[in-house]
Amino acid sequence: MTKWSSVAAVVVLVVGLSYAMRSGAQEDDLVMALAPRAEGLILARCSVCHSPDLITQQRLPKDRWVATVEKMTHWGAQLSPDEADVLVRFLSARYHPGAPDSLPSLDADVHKAEPLEQPQGQTGPLVGVAARGAGIFEHNCQACHGAGASGAFGPALAKNPILKHEDLFWETVLHGRGPMPAWGGALSHQDIADVHAWLLSR
Amino acid sequence: MSDSPHLSRRSLFRRVVEGLAGLALWRQAQPVSAQSVAETGPLTARVTRPYDAETPVREFTSFLTPAHRLFVRSHFGPPPQEALTEQNWKLTVGGLVERPQSFALKALRELEPVTVTSVLQCSGNGRAFHRPKVPGVQWERGAVGNVRWTGARLRDVLEGAGLRGHARHVQFQGADRPVVSSVPLFIRSIPLAKALHPDTLLAYEMNGRPLPLLHGAPLRVVTPGWMAESCVKWLTDITVRSDEAEGYYMQTAYRMPVTAIHPQSGLPGTSMAPVEAIVVKSVIASPEEGARVGPGPVTIQGVAWSGESPIAGVEVSCDDGQTWDSARLVGEDLPYAWRQWQFVWRPSQSGEVTIHCRATDVEGQVQPRVSPWNPSGFMWNGWDHVTVTVGR
């Protein structure tokens, strides 16, 4: 190899490496920016039917993530077009074919997941608003607990004794129990208080 | 990131990016879980809900796979237990039959019992090894087992009901239901010839005990030699039809390209046929991946199977497939069951060695180094391998 071709090879390598690092960095920034919202969606909308580990073990190109999210929406996943787009961008940035086999699990990030509707500047004790709770229940809980909280795959919650034990109710909703996923990353405390107020009214 | 013209250049640098994975992880400044997969007692969980789990291959040193170690796979999880009690559960047989009927479990037990030992294998077993990667549960080597099934012949039940002239397919549905009712039901069918085969069973026992809940209590279909998606669990409805079952799980899922396709050829790219017979395959149960062995003689052992055809031989290579030595077939030799094999290896040098195995069946089907790629990642049967360190 001549001196000049060696120099050229080194230049190509350095430029290539810095480009790759920059791409990697951009990818990371994207993942970080989307993660709280996307992970909240996974917990709230995908884990109605399956645990998030089914998602995090995939390593797919964007077209297959698009197809998968479309299939799930078609099957009843409650995702608006905007939410589906956030999810696809996050999943294809983080769980792409070149991503390492071992990534930090979503569970480790749960505490970081952003509540979908974050109340701002909240002070004083939470007061649940039953009228608001009805909609939150329908969107997030009804798939398992049935219309009117009358039970389906999950237990009936209307008149369920757990409503009288608020600590146990909050513990279950925030951290999950048995087949029920943890909702602490998906619902704000206000959301949970609203659902609780609505359930008491049933 | 957007789909910019950088994409193709970026893919050129993907390998470099992979090399920088450590950096990427560091940048995220988050704790890294050692393993994304939990070892839960006798099984390795792949999905916690609905529960999907595979058997660690070290367990494949035994001929029969015990129920608590057999892989678990379902689309929706088991039905509520009250649906399966003696009082509530029944099997109905309808469709193109002269006399639609229903059976309590007791009535099925009064039919002539038949016992068949057969391999049960998920079509996605080994999906994690396909490249490019494909979506689905990332099974590795353990979504398979060898079980002694006992039950009534499906044929006896169908003939009792009387098949009508244009009966061609037999459809199965279980009591399991999706969480959300807009998800398609798991409904499958098999062609009439397989349904009438004397070894095709409605099984109520595995390894001499009643079926456990996770494996389909009180009754499941067993199609010896065929992949497990035909072996519908928690069976409640048999419907005789003139055509294949409709719906996602028969018409879209569990289908393979009729001819091999290139990964970039687009989907589905060619005509697709239902997955049916198991293909020839072998795995190494011992030594385990990463084991320290030797320096004296090392017994390499494992199992080999091929759907409807007996195993003719298993070979072992310790030089990346350049030369092969025949293993000894041992233990029971039954149709549809797997065959155990052993090979005594005398390592000639210390250090890391990768051991490969490949099986051949009596029809001459040979386990390939790499299986044909397909969009759903079914039927992986590439050479199995473990890497061990030969010590001093």
Q: Is the separation of the CB atoms in B372 and B380 below 8 Å? A: no
A93 shares a domain with A47 = yes
Task: Quote the mean pLDDT of chain A.
Answer: 80
Quote the pLDDT of residue B6.
Answer: 39
**Given the structure tokens 């396709």, which residue do they identify?**
B261
- Total beta-carbon pairs less than 8 A apart between chain A and chain B: 118
* Single-letter code of the amino acid located at B78: P
Closest alpha carbon within chain A to B26: A28
Separation CA B222–CA B232 (nearest Å): 8
Separation CA B16–CA A24 (nearest Å): 10
Handedness of CA B342, B344, B347, B348 (dihedral sign): negative
Q: Which residues contact B56 (CB under 8 A, 6 or more apart)?
A: B39, B42, B43, B44, B142
A59: which chain B residues are within 8 Å (Cβ-Cβ)? 133
Q: Which residue has better confidence, B249 or A135?
A: B249
The CATH code of the domain that includes A169 is 1.10.760.10
Q: Which residues contact B382 (CB under 8 A, 6 or more apart)?
A: B126, B129, B367, B368, B369, B370, B371
A84 shares a domain with A22 = yes
Q: Which residue has better confidence, A19 or B77?
A: B77
B181: which chain A residues are within 8 Å (Cβ-Cβ)? 76
Q: Does B135 touch chain A (CB under 8 A)?
A: yes
Flag whether pLDDT at B312 surpasses 50: yes
3 state SS of B12: helix
Give buried/exposed letters for B226-256 (b at 16+ CB in 10 A, else e): bbbbbbbbbbbbbbbbeebbebbbbeebbbb
B184: which chain A residues are within 8 Å (Cβ-Cβ)? 75
* CATH code linked to domain B38-274: 3.90.420.10
Quote the pLDDT of residue B265.
Answer: 55
Rounded to a whole number of angstroms, the distance from the CA of B10 to the nearest CA of chain A is 7
Rounded to a whole number of angstroms, the distance from the CA of B375 to the nearest CA of chain A is 10
3 state SS of A24: helix
Q: Give the side-chain half-sphere CA count within 13 A for A143.
A: 23
In a domain, A188, yes or no: yes
3 state SS of A13: helix
Q: Which residues contact B142 (CB under 8 A, 6 or more apart)?
A: B44, B54, B55, B56, B57, B59, B60, B71, B125
> Looking at A157-161, B205-209, B354-358, B364-368, which range is the least confident one?
A157-161
Flag whether pLDDT at B269 surpasses 60: no
Closest alpha carbon within chain B to A26: B1
* Pure H helices in chain B: 6-12, 14-19, 21-28, 105-110, 154-161, 192-195, 248-251
Separation CA B113–CA B202 (nearest Å): 10
The alpha carbon of residue B81 and the mean position of all alpha carbons in its chain are separated, in whole angstroms, by 25
Q: Is the separation of the CB atoms in A119 and A183 below 8 Å? A: no
Q: Does B29 touch chain A (CB under 8 A)?
A: no
A97 shares a domain with A165 = no
A93 shares a domain with A142 = no
Q: Does B23 touch chain A (CB under 8 A)?
A: yes
In a domain, A136, yes or no: yes
DSSP state, residue B258: S
Query: Residues B168-178: what's their mean pLDDT?
Result: 96
B16, B23, B179: residue with CB nearest A16:
B16
* Single-letter code of the amino acid located at B223: T
Query: Residues B143-162: what's their mean pLDDT?
Result: 98
Flag whether pLDDT at B16 surpasses 60: no
CA torsion B211-B250-B269-B133 (nearest 10°) is: -30
Closest alpha carbon within chain A to B139: A57
Flag whether pLDDT at A97 surpasses 70: yes
A80 shares a domain with A7 = yes
The helix-helix angle for A81-94 and A62-74 (nearest 10°) equals: 140
In a domain, A84, yes or no: yes
> Domain range for residue A17?
3-103
A179: which chain B residues are within 8 Å (Cβ-Cβ)? 49, 77
Q: How many domains does chain A have?
A: 2
* Single-letter code of the amino acid located at A100: P
pLDDT in tens, B21-34: 333 332 332 222 33
Q: Is the separation of the CB atoms in B187 and B91 below 8 Å? A: no
Strands B144-153 and B201-206 turn out to be: antiparallel
3 state SS of B6: helix
A81 shares a domain with A12 = yes
Quote the pLDDT of residue A142.
Answer: 82
In a domain, A121, yes or no: no
Strands B311-317 and B220-222 turn out to be: unpaired
Same fold, B38-274 and B281-390: no
- The interface predicted TM-score of the complex, written ipTM, equals 0.85
Separation CA A45–CA B342 (nearest Å): 49
Going from the C-alpha of B194 to that of each of B189, B197, B312, the distances in angstroms are 10, 5, 24
A65 shares a domain with A14 = yes
Q: Is the separation of the CB atoms in B147 and B70 below 8 Å? A: yes
In a domain, A162, yes or no: yes
A23: which chain B residues are within 8 Å (Cβ-Cβ)? 6, 10, 13, 17
Give the pair of three-digit tokens for residue B389: 């360190």
Given A43, A68, A103, the domain boundary residue is: A103
**So what CATH class is B281-390?**
mainly beta
A63 shares a domain with A8 = yes
CB atoms under 10 Å from CB of A63, counted, come to 12
Separation CA B374–CA A2 (nearest Å): 46
Give the pair of three-digit tokens for residue B163: 């098949």
Q: Do B6 and A50 touch (CB under 8 A)?
A: no
Domain residue spans in chain B? 38-274, 281-390
Q: Is the separation of the CB atoms in A137 and A195 below 8 Å? A: yes
Query: Residues B346-368: what's their mean pLDDT?
Result: 97
Rounded to a whole number of angstroms, the distance from the CA of A192 to the nearest CA of chain B is 22
A95 shares a domain with A135 = no
Q: Does B5 touch chain A (CB under 8 A)?
A: no
In a domain, A115, yes or no: no
Q: Do A53 and B21 touch (CB under 8 A)?
A: no
In a domain, A109, yes or no: no
* Phi, psi dihedrals of residue A51, rounded to the nearest 5°: -70, 155
> Looking at B5-19, B167-181, B338-352, which range is the least confident one?
B5-19
User: What is the enclosing helix (H) or strand (E) of A144?
Assistant: helix A142-145
Flag whether pLDDT at B18 surpasses 50: no
Query: B99, B352, B37, B1: which is closest to A29 by C-alpha?
Result: B1
Q: Do A97 and B181 touch (CB under 8 A)?
A: no
Give the pair of three-digit tokens for residue B301: 């052992």
In a domain, A116, yes or no: no
A37 shares a domain with A88 = yes
Rounded to a whole number of angstroms, the distance from the CA of A152 to the nearest CA of chain B is 8
